[in-house]
Amino acid sequence: MSETIDLLVVGGGINGAGIARDAAGRGLSVTLVEKADLASATSSWSSKLIHGGLRYLEQYEFRLVREALQEREVLLKLAPHIIRPLLFVLPHDRGMRPVWMIKAGLFLYDHLGGRITLPRSKAVAFPHLEYSAGLKGEYRSGFVYSDCRVDDSRLTVLNAVSAREKGARILTRTRFEGARRVEGGWEAGIALANGERETVRARAIVNAAGPWVMDVLGEIAGEKVRGGVRLVKGSHIIVPKVHSQGHAYILQNPDRRVIFIIPYERDFSLIGTTDVAVPSLEGADRISAEETRYLLDAVNRFLAKPLAAGDIVSSYAGVRPLYDDGSDNPSEVTRDYVLRVDHHGHGAPLLTVFGGKITTYRRLAEEALGKLKPFFSGLKGDWTAHEPLPGGDVGRFNAFRDDMYRRYETLGRDLVDGIVRRHGSRSVRLLGNARSSGELGRYFGGGLTEAEVRYLVAEEWAATAEDVLWRRTRCGLHMTPGEREAVTAFMQQDR
């Protein structure tokens, strides 16, 4: 048995990775176990927005929206390579929410979070060369406001990288198999990637298992917190881009939900999402025919050139592990998070994470460490609002990217652009002094080189083609099946 660590974190999604980073930066000894790959569950299946959540205002979730709007500004500074501002256009007609309501909502959105650097909202008349691109001519007006988009799985991985650099042990493909309290601490069983089993002694456990939070609770002996999750499935479709401008659309649906059309990976539009309550995770990992129809119908009310099922190039589904607040309507279940600490006087705390957005993960982690503070005397204070995530120390992103274009002129802009957006200042570590793409090893297509794959394996726990093609990068979307197979073969060979 190894020596006693301070914190065992179960789950390598955004919340587990964020808590591990925060804790390691405060000097705690941390081990994080993730049963599959980092961000292999909900944290790579999101709408990829760092947003206040305009629609949550209607549900009076002011605390959540304020915190999320503040976080938008903080995160933009910490990771400007993977988090970028994005304008949203909301087309309007008489059948929708009244203009006064939208104006009031946008006013709140512009002001609730305090000082913002992003452009404030405004009304626009259609047709508009830019803001009504791709829409039917019948829409005569709209509103424009700001939010941000994020590479969700890279955000998770970069938190894990930072945690490791601060001393945390990150174990992917490692399953938590249960724990019990012993002498004021915990003894937990974990099954490692190589099939071996290990017993970990820890002073505290964090359960950040997302949709599996109740399963993990079930594997922990003794009295536990009360609370429950509502599993609400959400799906997206990806189509060739529906307009050539840089903005997203937020579309009001007759059921009062909103659907996003988000520019995605240069050539595509990401369309989502749905809200379907599911009893279990079984079969919830792919979009259903009804959800596909629902999304197509929703966007076709607005698009001049309607989309058909045949236009869909890819799709994905994920399950939100929402805190069960008793709402009947899955769209109205709170998106806020709830943290529960249970110690029953044993001094061996178990902290359980219910709910949470990508957007608020950093604040969630701060709050988690705040709740654990009484158990760790001398624990350092909050620090994560100021230290950039790995690769995020680039200053103004566009100026940095232009410098990189010049520095690596001979490699071609497309290749450099993709690498810089994924790795920020750390791009130099994988590009070195390369003068030609040949110096980066084999080219797999879709902007992926052997040098990057090797970097992802060495530095970011990539172990399979899927890790590389769909989470560490999204290069898979730009590749032919043959090109993807070549990456699979490369990952399987003894490198």
Ligand X SMILES: Cc1cc2nc3c(=O)[nH]c(=O)nc-3n(C[C@H](O)[C@H](O)[C@H](O)COP(=O)(O)OP(=O)(O)OC[C@H]3O[C@@H](n4cnc5c(N)ncnc54)[C@H](O)[C@@H]3O)c2cc1C
List residues binding ligand X (CB under 6 A). 10-16, 33-36, 40-43, 45-49, 175-176, 208-212, 216, 234, 273, 318-321, 353, 356-359
Nearer to ligand X, 260 or 444 (CB): 260
Q: Which residue has the tokens 């560490």?
A: 472
How far is Cα 364 from Cα 383, in angstroms, rounded to an integer?
Answer: 13
Token digits of residue 119: 């452009």
3-state secondary structure of 247: coil
Nearer to ligand X, 315 or 437 (CB): 315
How far is Cα 300 from Cα 277, in angstroms, rounded to an integer?
Answer: 24
In the complex, the smallest distance separating the C-beta of residue 224 from ligand X, rounded to whole angstroms, is 15
In the complex, the smallest distance separating the C-beta of residue 330 from ligand X, rounded to whole angstroms, is 11
In the complex, the smallest distance separating the C-beta of residue 105 from ligand X, rounded to whole angstroms, is 18
3-state secondary structure of 303: strand
Nearer to ligand X, 135 or 150 (CB): 150
In the complex, the smallest distance separating the C-beta of residue 342 from ligand X, rounded to whole angstroms, is 18
Nearer to ligand X, 35 or 423 (CB): 35
Nearer to ligand X, 237 or 307 (CB): 237
Contact 11, 34 (CB under 8 A): yes
How far is Cα 449 from Cα 486, in angstroms, rounded to an integer?
Answer: 12
For residue 487, report the phi and psi dihedrals to the nearest 5 degrees: -70, -40
Nearer to ligand X, 170 or 372 (CB): 170
Nearer to ligand X, 176 or 461 (CB): 176
Nearer to ligand X, 39 or 430 (CB): 39
Nearer to ligand X, 213 or 415 (CB): 213
Nearest to ligand X by Cβ — which residue? 13
Q: What burial class does residue 198 get, using C-beta atoms within 10 Å of its C-beta: 0-12 exposed, 13-18 middle, 19+ buried?
A: middle
DSSP state of 389: P
Amino acid in position 477: L
In the complex, the smallest distance separating the C-beta of residue 14 from ligand X, rounded to whole angstroms, is 5
How far is Cα 165 from Cα 180, in angstroms, rounded to an integer?
Answer: 29
In the complex, the smallest distance separating the C-beta of residue 353 from ligand X, rounded to whole angstroms, is 6
How far is Cα 193 from Cα 187, in angstroms, rounded to an integer?
Answer: 19
In the complex, the smallest distance separating the C-beta of residue 175 from ligand X, rounded to whole angstroms, is 4
In the complex, the smallest distance separating the C-beta of residue 256 from ligand X, rounded to whole angstroms, is 18
Measure the N-to-C terminal CA separation of the chain; round to a whole number of Å.
Answer: 32
How far is Cα 57 from Cα 328, in angstroms, rounded to an integer?
Answer: 18
Nearer to ligand X, 70 or 273 (CB): 273
Q: Burial letters for 91-123: b for 16+ Cβ neighbours within 10 Å, e otherwise?
A: bbeeebeeeeebeebbebbbebbeebebeebee
In the complex, the smallest distance separating the C-beta of residue 189 from ligand X, rounded to whole angstroms, is 10
How far is Cα 185 from Cα 349, in angstroms, rounded to an integer?
Answer: 8
In the complex, the smallest distance separating the C-beta of residue 46 from ligand X, rounded to whole angstroms, is 3
β partners of residue 465: none
How far is Cα 176 from Cα 194, in angstroms, rounded to an integer?
Answer: 14
